[in-house]
């Protein structure tokens, strides 16, 4: 038994059947999934993860290929299990499922194409770039609030309020609703985590209903009094004479609110931790716009906020060598694992901004590539540069711990001193 095998005693793998038992709630895995990923790259680049009940792909090339393969998609076939293998009664999830049914993230062409075309107009790079001064100003405002304190938890005081404020302003909903929007979003997003309970499902459904009711009231107001906000744009947007239905409009707004902050909060915290772990003056990573962009891309690769994304097979297909799927079965794509693949990245466990082989899959790929990627990149570039420019002496006040929320990957808290 090698040292890595001894360290990974929580991992049980049968090479003959390629079946893996690895509890995603195992504390050591929660705090550092990358040692297990390194083992997988050497020993099991594709495997059946028994704790989830489906095959998973760990290698960069396989993950990148399947994200782009139109024979696999997000739209759930009739009778197929959801992301957590659930096939039971869903009568208690009607509000949550109604939102999912009209979410572009869960749909395939032609419906996905129409929805994405209508929504994408607000998220093209030139539109997003106009927000840079506002993001920088907001980042400075947030630092102003805690700079004199000598320390703070950056997650609730910096990482979380920035993206929720920006997306709320874009949509034209009250910024002071931010905490409530976050609460609803957290309840809904918990549906995608391993080991959910009936209590969690009931909470997610109630929050889905409340979120939907809130947005419908604002849509009604914008229909009467349109503005220059994203809700008004979505109401008026047409493609080949077609508009978004109200259900599609509500689902799209909720998706943008949820996705517009959840991953960005995690990535901001992960990035700050990563940069501070490098030691020295953090400003050296942000000396120019090019250096800042390269640093953010490496943060996205090195410690991504989303570690698994699933696809359904639309036919009896081979997902990878020796991985035969029946129609309707799921396959897990391990994004965080793919980003550390030594077959794709030189020195994958080393933080190297500006690396020549930067091609992370943290935003996905193919038709479901994250629609908010330009906004997330801009928020990360602007907010991190402001933070380290303002507080160059910033340091970790304690070792930050990751939350037990696989396949999301983010910190419980981020206490710093300066």
Average pLDDT of span 69-78: 94
Tens digit of each residue's pLDDT (9 = 90 or more) over 168-201: 999 899 999 988 998 999 999 999 888 889 999 9
Average pLDDT of span 112-130: 86
- Threshold 0.85, pTM exceeds: yes
pLDDT over 90 percentage in the chain: 82
Q: Answer whether CATH 2.40.160.50 is correct for domain 3-417.
A: no
383 with 162: CB under 8 angstroms?
yes
For the chain, the structural domain boundaries read 3-417
Confidence at residue 257, expressed as pLDDT on a 0 to 100 scale: 86
Confidence at residue 84, expressed as pLDDT on a 0 to 100 scale: 63
316 with 327: CB under 8 angstroms?
yes
Tens digit of each residue's pLDDT (9 = 90 or more) over 322-339: 999 999 999 999 999 999
> Cα separation of 255 and 348, whole Å?
32
Average pLDDT of span 230-251: 85
161 with 178: CB under 8 angstroms?
yes
Tens digit of each residue's pLDDT (9 = 90 or more) over 100-110: 999 999 999 99
Higher pLDDT, 89 or 159: 159
What is the band of 85 on the pLDDT scale with cuts at 50, 70, 90? low
Confidence at residue 87, expressed as pLDDT on a 0 to 100 scale: 64
């Amino acid at each position: 038994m090698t040292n890595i095998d001894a360290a990974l005693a929580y991992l049980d793998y049968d090479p003959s059947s390629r079946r893996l038992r690895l509890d995603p709630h195992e504390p050591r895995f929660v705090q550092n999934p990358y040692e297990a990923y390194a083992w997988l790259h050497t020993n099991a680049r594709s495997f059946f993860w028994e704790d989830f009940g489906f095959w998973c792909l760990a290698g960069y090339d396989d993950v990148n290929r399947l994200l782009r393969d139109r024979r696999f998609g997000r739209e759930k076939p009739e009778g197929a299990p959801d992301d957590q293998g659930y096939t039971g009664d869903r009568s208690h999830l009607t509000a949550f499922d109604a939102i999912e049914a009209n979410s572009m993230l869960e749909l395939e062409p032609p419906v996905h194409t129409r929805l994405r075309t209508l929504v994408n107009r607000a998220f093209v790079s030139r539109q997003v770039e106009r927000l840079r001064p506002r993001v920088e100003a907001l980042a400075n405002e947030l630092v102003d609030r805690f700079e004199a304190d000598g320390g703070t938890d950056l997650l609730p005081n910096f990482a979380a309020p920035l993206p929720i404020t920006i997306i709320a302003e874009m949509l034209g909903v009250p910024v002071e609703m931010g905490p409530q929007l976050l609460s609803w979003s957290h309840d809904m997003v918990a549906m995608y985590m391993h080991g959910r309970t009936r209590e969690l499902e009931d909470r997610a459904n109630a929050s889905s209903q409340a979120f939907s009711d809130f947005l419908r009231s604002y849509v009604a107001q914008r229909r009467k009094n349109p503005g220059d906000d994203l809700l008004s744009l979505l109401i008026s947007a047409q493609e080949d004479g077609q508009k978004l239905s109200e259900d599609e409009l509500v689902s799209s707004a909720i998706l943008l609110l949820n996705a517009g902050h959840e991953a960005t909060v995690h990535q901001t915290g992960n990035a700050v931790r990563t940069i501070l772990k490098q030691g020295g003056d953090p400003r050296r990573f942000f000396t120019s716009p090019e250096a800042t962009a390269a640093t953010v891309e490496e943060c996205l690769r090195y410690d991504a906020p989303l570690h698994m994304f699933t696809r359904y097979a639309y036919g009896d297909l081979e997902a990878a060598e020796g991985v035969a799927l029946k129609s309707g079965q799921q396959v897990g794509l391990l994004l965080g694992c793919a980003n550390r693949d030594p077959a794709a990245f030189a020195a994958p466990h080393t933080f190297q901004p500006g690396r020549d082989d930067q091609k992370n899959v943290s935003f996905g790929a193919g038709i479901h590539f994250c629609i908010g990627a330009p906004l997330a990149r801009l928020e990360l570039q602007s907010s991190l540069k402001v933070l380290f420019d303002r507080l160059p002496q910033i340091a970790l006040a304690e070792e930050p711990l990751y939350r037990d929320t696989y396949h999301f990957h983010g910190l419980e808290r981020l206490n710093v001193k300066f």
